[in-house]
Chain A
Amino acid sequence: MDREKLNKVKSEVTGIEPLSLSYEKKIESSIGEDTVRKISREKGEPEWMLKKRLYSLKVFNSRPMPNWSFDLSSIINFNELIPYAKPFSEKLEESSKIPQEVMKVLEKLNIPEAERRYLSGSGTMIDSEVLYRRIKDELRKKGVIFTDMDTAVREYPELVKKYFMTFIVSPHDNKFAALHGALWSGGSFVYVPKGVKVDLPLQVFFLINYPKLGQFEHTIIIADEGSEVEYIEGCSAPVYSAYNLHSAVVEVHVKKNAFVKYTTIQTWTKNVLNLNTKRAVVEEGGTLRWVSGNIGSGLTMYYPSAVLRGKGARAEFLSVTFAGNGQKKETGSKVFHLAPETRSRIVSKSIVKAGGYAAYRGLVHIAKGAKDSISSVKCDALLLDDSSNSATYPYIESYESNSEVTHEATVSRIEEEKLFYLMSRGLSETEAKAMITRGFMEPIMVNLPLEYALELNRLIELELEGEGAVG
């Protein structure tokens, strides 16, 4: 690997400069049993986890590529993918031990500041391993667990056995979920005990630094009865000419009357293929709110989902997607209403420009017996020019006549009349477009932590000015 040459690749606003880390361990062999065993051995895993990995590998080998969206076979060459890279030798509890080069990046991304000011805990994962992770002592004392998945495998094997790719996301879900099950590394494990309210968010930041690496972090969040927690994830990568793959699996269990807010701010560079499987199961009276900002990545397929299996369970999915030059996005949500009086609300906003493509693909399923359930889906696309495209594929399956599903979709352009009005208030054309675009995103933005909303606004403005913020 010619690192020097890669270091010269200029990264842009949200991309980072490639870090010259000394990698302690790399597994560059192609995807197969040998590779899976190497990863498991590297982590010193118990036999049961290796078995899960090998089972997933079998599923991966037998599953076809997803056939409903982009033609992934022409883009992804699994033989070129680097399955594992570990850039340092120990996990850190203290940020003072973080290598200076990494610290600089974290500071640029404002992470230490955020941690001091408004987080209950935070962590950073680089390539295949978690670099550091901390949680406030008071939460630890209340029994809140916030650790990385590898530690969870060792310290909470019963919980991991129960949850890891069992009833929430199965390896059979799709080829990439299966690949993930075989190669997973890093990620978060969160457990919030009964009745505990975590008042400030937990945040994890993901960096991909190693060229051609596949990052497969696994996250499990268990919110026990009556608890509350907010989890935020962000990401960044350098601009590389070859693809990186990011294929996470996230499994969330919202127990009776619990509340989970999950926020994803995705600002990968365009060389990152973002193919995730993220799903929550919500029990009686529980509430899930899922907020996504899909700004970066060259190709994204992202359908956060919820299974509402207890009476009165609720899920809300709010997302804003940006697709600029060289970006193809398919996003949407799947909600399964399996119990009476369940509620779901999906609001999806896409902004498309400079030849970008954004589609909404979503499913609302109301099972027989899920009486008095209500679902509403609203997807709006804003096309900033004639070369950009959007599409909507809403699937509705209702087997319960005593329930209600509404779907509304709009495609709009920035009307000259609006531009003229705002320009008559002294705004330049670019400023006026940015203001209209911000207004379009506003219903999602108000649900983001302020710092993220400001950051997203800034990114969108840079994109509109044509600088291409996400590299």
Chain B
Amino acid sequence: MVLEIKNLTVYAKERQILYDVSLSLERSQLIVLMGPNGSGKSTLAQTLLGSPFYKIIRGEVLLDGESIVNLKTHERVRKGLFLVFQNPVEIQGVSVLNLVKAAHSSITSEQTSIFEFKNKLSSLLSFLDLEESFLYKNVNVEMSGGEKKKSEMLQLLAIKPKYAILDEPDSGLDVDSLKLVAKAITNLLNSNVGVLLITHYTRIINELPSPSKVYVMLNGKIVTSGGVEVAKEVDRGGYEWIGKN
């Protein structure tokens, strides 16, 4: 059971963004992808989900052995992939509850009654330290940065996919919220979810079980990988040292 990214080469319009990127993620595994702004991390995340803004020129993405590059976004998601967006867009007039319900029923084949589902949501809300009224906010409208992150986490936890890609779920969070997000990720790992975590900081990594692998991306290429010590090096010396190696 593995999500495999093989030699992915990706363009945005005429510009090449990703060069021959390969990595793999197993269920229950934590993989970390680091890199400076503009290095292509979000492009990778969105390409895996089939974003209309990026085009795969070469390479392959296999989900449990099956190629998904020709599938539409919702088909990939229904097969077990999920993306926590770095900057999720506003959807006016649609409540968080509406979206979570729609997402849950289209992605999972679970037969949950509305009653059970509401119970599940209310325990997730209290886990994320959110009021019930949060469910009635419009999706990402008039939400603080932290609330947007929590909204994304709420959806992720309600869906519980096979493989989750989290694009900077930690940026802009206060210490308490960061710990909650880390705890949520830990729970997911414990319930057989593979997690690809994209982050700038080791702050969140320190709250998590040790990652199986840490990749560093620079200018669209994976330039180094290794254990948690790679993250620590980045934390100490930024990305400069990598170029010097």
Please give the residue numbers on chain A whose beta carbons come within 8 Å of chain B beta carbons, in ascending order.
415-429, 431-432, 435-436, 438-443
Q: Of residues B73, B155, B159, which shows the largest number of chain A Cβ atoms within 10 Å of its Cβ?
A: B73
Residue B74 lies at the interface, judged by CB distance under 8 Å to chain A: yes
Q: Are A438 and B74 within 8 A (Cβ)?
A: no
Take A429-B72, A431-B106 as given contacts and tell me if A424 and B77 are in contact as well, using a CB distance cutoff of 8 Å.
yes
CA distance A435 to B89 in the complex (A): 14
Q: Between A and B, how many residue pairs show CB distances below 8 Å?
A: 80
Residue B32 lies at the interface, judged by CB distance under 8 Å to chain A: no
Q: Are B93 and A443 within 8 A (Cβ)?
A: yes
Take A416-B52, A416-B53, A431-B102 as given contacts and tell me if A425 and B93 are in contact as well, using a CB distance cutoff of 8 Å.
no
A-B contacts, 15 of them at CB < 8 A, read A416-B52, A421-B89, A421-B91, A423-B72, A423-B73, A423-B77, A426-B78, A427-B74, A428-B74, A429-B72, A435-B91, A436-B94, A438-B94, A439-B91, A440-B92
CA distance A329 to B102 in the complex (A): 32
Q: Of residues A417, A423, A436, which shows the largest number of chain B Cβ atoms within 10 Å of its Cβ?
A: A423
Please give the residue numbers on chain B whose beta carbons come within 8 Å of chain A beta carbons, in ascending order.
46, 49-53, 72-74, 77-78, 82-83, 85, 88-89, 91-94, 98-99, 102-103, 106-107, 138, 155, 159
- Chain B residues near A426 (CB, 8 Å)? 74, 77-78, 102-103, 106-107, 159
Minimal beta-carbon separation of A212 from chain B (angstroms): 40
From the candidates A418, A423, A440, name the one contacting B74 in the complex (CB within 8 A). Answer: A423
Residue of A nearest to B90 (CB): A418
Q: Are A417 and B91 within 8 A (Cβ)?
A: no
Q: Are B89 and A418 within 8 A (Cβ)?
A: yes
Minimal beta-carbon separation of A419 from chain B (angstroms): 8
Q: Are B94 and A427 within 8 A (Cβ)?
A: no
Q: Are A439 and B51 within 8 A (Cβ)?
A: no
From the candidates B49, B98, B102, B138, name the one contacting A424 in the complex (CB within 8 A). Answer: B49
Minimal beta-carbon separation of A65 from chain B (angstroms): 38
Minimal beta-carbon separation of B143 from chain A (angstroms): 14
Q: Given known contacts A416-B52, A418-B91, A420-B46, what 8 new A-B pairs fall within 8 Å (CB)?
A: A424-B73, A425-B103, A428-B74, A429-B72, A432-B74, A435-B99, A435-B102, A439-B138
Q: Are A425 and B89 within 8 A (Cβ)?
A: no
Residue of A nearest to B82 (CB): A424
Q: Are A417 and B89 within 8 A (Cβ)?
A: yes
Residue of B nearest to A441 (CB): B93
Minimal beta-carbon separation of A109 from chain B (angstroms): 27
Take A426-B106, A429-B72 as given contacts and tell me if A421 and B85 are in contact as well, using a CB distance cutoff of 8 Å.
yes
CA distance A386 to B97 in the complex (A): 32
- Chain B residues near A421 (CB, 8 Å)? 85, 88-89, 91
Minimal beta-carbon separation of B2 from chain A (angstroms): 21
- Chain B residues near A423 (CB, 8 Å)? 50, 72-74, 77
- Chain A residues near B72 (CB, 8 Å)? 423, 428-429
The 4 closest A-B pairs by CB, nearest first: A439-B93, A442-B93, A426-B106, A426-B107
- Chain A residues near B102 (CB, 8 Å)? 425-427, 431, 435
- Chain A residues near B155 (CB, 8 Å)? 425
Minimal beta-carbon separation of B72 from chain A (angstroms): 7
- Chain B residues near A429 (CB, 8 Å)? 72, 74
Minimal beta-carbon separation of B191 from chain A (angstroms): 19
- Chain B residues near A428 (CB, 8 Å)? 72, 74, 106
- Chain A residues near B85 (CB, 8 Å)? 421, 424
Minimal beta-carbon separation of B197 from chain A (angstroms): 17
Minimal beta-carbon separation of B24 from chain A (angstroms): 21
Minimal beta-carbon separation of B140 from chain A (angstroms): 9
- Chain B residues near A420 (CB, 8 Å)? 46, 49, 51-53, 73
Residue of A nearest to B105 (CB): A426
Residue of A nearest to B155 (CB): A425
CA distance A426 to B155 in the complex (A): 11
Residue of B nearest to A349 (CB): B93
- Chain A residues near B78 (CB, 8 Å)? 426
